[in-house]
Amino acid sequence: MKLRKPINCILTAIFSIVISLGIFLMPIFASSDTQVLTVGVPVDRCPMFYIDKDSGEIVGIGVDLMKSAAKEAGMKISFEEISEQNLKEALDNTDYDLVMPFGSAIESASGKPSVVSDNLIQTPFTLVNTGKHVVSDISMLKIGMLRSLGAGAETVKELYPNMMIIMYDSMPECVGALRKGEVDALLHNSYVWSYVLQKPSYKDLVVQPSAMFSMDFRAGTIDTPKGRELVERLNKGIALVPDTKRQAIVLDYTTRKLYKYDFSDMLYAYRYSIVIGTLLFAALMTALVLRQKTYFEEQKERMRLMEDIDPLTGVLSHNGFRKKVEELLANNPDTPYTISYSNIKDFKFINDSFGWKAGDELLKFWTERSLEVLTEKEAIGRYDGDHFVVLRCIGGNEQIIQDEKYVLTPVRNYFKDRGKDYLVRLCTGMYVLMPTDYQDINVDKMLDYARIAEKKVRATKRDGFEFYNPKQWDKGKRTSDIISKLPSAIESGEIQVWYQPQVNYKTGKIIGAEALCRWFSQNDGFISPGEFIPVLEEAGLIYDLDCHVWDTVCKDLKRWNEQGRNLCVSVNLSRLDIVKDPNVADHFNTLVEFYDLSPRQLRIEITESAYVENADTIIKTTTKLREAGFEVEMDDFGSGYSSLNMLKEVVLDRIKLDLRFITGSGDQKMGRTILSYMVQMIHAIGTSLIAEGVETLEQADFLGSLGVEEMQGYYFYKPMPVDKFEELGGDTTI
């Protein structure tokens, strides 16, 4: 299968493209240093967003995080209280350049899509109820939320589709509904709860740490080119804000005494004491100070536990694990350690099949068993979900046998030992700490190494463990760079559509072309399709690239039609494209209608291997394309897959013959014989034929002697930019 990369090719000459691009970008970057961006935020969420009574300014955790990211991005921002009921409505207000906070991208109140920034911080969300019952299954509860949290409610609804959410205008209404039994619990940011629950009249409300989960904290705006540009620039700043800075901001606000008692609070909290009279005033004031101090310490401890301890399993959280590892490595510089990253394969299947409770019990069992074998010089933490991290002293065979007997085997047999025919599979990546790791302790970097190794285990579709390989890290970083740069590469024109002419061997005239992708990175130079195509396939982004190629080719065909040059171009359609969009035939119909093209001008190439790997789906798509008037080609025919059976299952318009029979190793005479009979067979079934990969005159003459007229390859033309292809001329009859 030939896989290609799309490009947002501007249809004018290259000089015009550069001029146009400069004109488009100039006002954006020219004004970015002076323009002050307005960020709309709610101000009823202390300590996340609130109005400081002394300065009258909007302050809070979210404000400081956003300012830090904006500073790193070289942006100037100001904050404004949103006047709308919720963030969905605020998105439609053009007075705001950005709105926050969002857990994920949502539609605005008017139905416009939004684009959101990278995550500023992972914010914990917790349920609060009256403490009359313990929350068991969060997904089945009736939950109360503030109306201003409408955007967050949509994200929660995606996480828990069966949850019923009722919106209220204010916190007093939420609490009233909870006490009346209209809802089972209330949901809000845990940092906000730490402030709200200081209200004396809410002392009967109880935080349910077992029902805690995390949501992203992002800024967003309407999805437009300007909005995407703004978010992309902000993301660069977010990436530069260190975790230590984010933690310091949270700690600064959560350790302050932000809540101020009002008159009603005082009356409620001390209504009985007031009756006693002034004789006990001094004692009362002393008790008040002591009580406030105790409550403050309790709040600090509660916040510390929420940050450092996983509420489900009781082991360290990601943050707590990082702190513990830093402490252990600093205190034990001569102890050899490994750090591991593990997860349960198909954990979603376990939750779906046996229930969330069974999944939670499995996680708790895993940690209980692990704690039995770990020493004080070792640590275990729950990274997130079913992912666990362990710092372990390097031991000998005895330790391996002990871990296998007391931890791994019991976890694998967890369900079997409980009468269910299911074997738990664990994937683990391990990194052996190097001397430099003790000198410059970077726990996140070590975990990244372990995760690379764990990913390698998962990629093999098996369980077990794998040690980190430095080459994997380099490959993983390169893969990440390619994936992250794809949208900007398309937008900036780094990715170009090139054309390789197809010729008639007898006449020497150009009869069409095949569309190919080339990536010329400003920073990395030429990136081979053999490198970036497989990366995009694995990341599920190849469809985005192919869609762009198809669109660019149709634009070029329309321009050539207007110039009186009727050409045919072959474009690649991969198996992954069809998996991504089963109605891809309709997508092609829309393209030719929009650009006023004949379907026969767009030849759809599908690789031979695709027909073998996903035959039924590919055949259905091929049939729909041909019924719509498109010509469908089988690419790479004869490349090694057994696809002869496909020729009787599906009708094709053209077969692209692979020349490896006469270009590879082995008996060349035998290869020529096989190729001769393949050509005879294709002619006999009445299908047209083109040979690709023709590199020498000898090959061209041999194919011509077999009756092959249409050819493609380096002997005739190499792939070339669109302007060079246009200089060649040539046409074909449609």
Give the residue with greater pLDDT, 431 vs 610: 431
Q: How far is CA 135 from CA 185, 241, 509, 629, in A?
A: 9, 36, 76, 59
Give the pLDDT band of residue 15 (cuts 50, 70, 90): very low
- Statement: residue 459 has pLDDT above 50: yes
Distance, in Å, from the CA atom of 538 to the CA atom of 416, rounded to the nearest integer, reads: 34
3-state secondary structure of 441: coil
- Statement: residue 5 has pLDDT above 50: no
Nearest alpha-carbon partner for 682 in 734, 726, 731, 647? 647
Q: How many CB atoms lie within 10 A of CB 93?
A: 17
- Statement: residue 43 has pLDDT above 80: yes
- Statement: residue 263 has pLDDT above 80: no
pLDDT of residue 435: 80
Looking at residues 324-347, what average pLDDT do you find?
91
Percent of the chain residues topping a pLDDT of 70:
87
Q: What is the pLDDT of residues 291-320, one digit of tens each?
A: 776 665 655 555 555 568 888 888 898 889
- Statement: residue 663 has pLDDT above 90: no
205-219, 273-287, 373-387, 420-434: which has the minimum mean pLDDT? 273-287
- Statement: residue 20 has pLDDT above 50: no
Looking at residues 29-35, what average pLDDT do you find?
48
- Statement: residue 726 has pLDDT above 60: yes
Pairing of strands 123-129, 206-215: antiparallel
19-23, 228-232, 496-500: which has the minimum mean pLDDT? 19-23
Residue 569 near residue 599 (C-beta atoms within 8 A):
no
Helix segments in 93-149, DSSP class H? none
Give the pLDDT band of residue 4 (cuts 50, 70, 90): very low
Give the pLDDT band of residue 32 (cuts 50, 70, 90): very low
pLDDT of residue 585: 93
Q: What is the mean pLDDT of the chain?
A: 84
pLDDT of residue 139: 79
21-35, 120-134, 164-178, 638-652: which has the minimum mean pLDDT? 21-35
- Statement: residue 734 has pLDDT above 50: no
Q: What is the pLDDT of residues 170-188, one digit of tens each?
A: 889 999 998 898 998 898 8
431-440, 472-481, 671-680: which has the minimum mean pLDDT? 472-481
pLDDT of residue 6: 40
Q: Let me know if 526 is exposed, middle or buried by CB neighbors in 10 A (0-12, 13-18, 19+).
A: exposed
Nearest alpha-carbon partner for 653 in 681, 680, 623? 623
- Statement: residue 693 has pLDDT above 50: yes
- Statement: residue 239 has pLDDT above 70: yes
Residue 125 identity (one-letter amino acid):
F
pLDDT of residue 297: 63
Give the pLDDT band of residue 278 (cuts 50, 70, 90): low
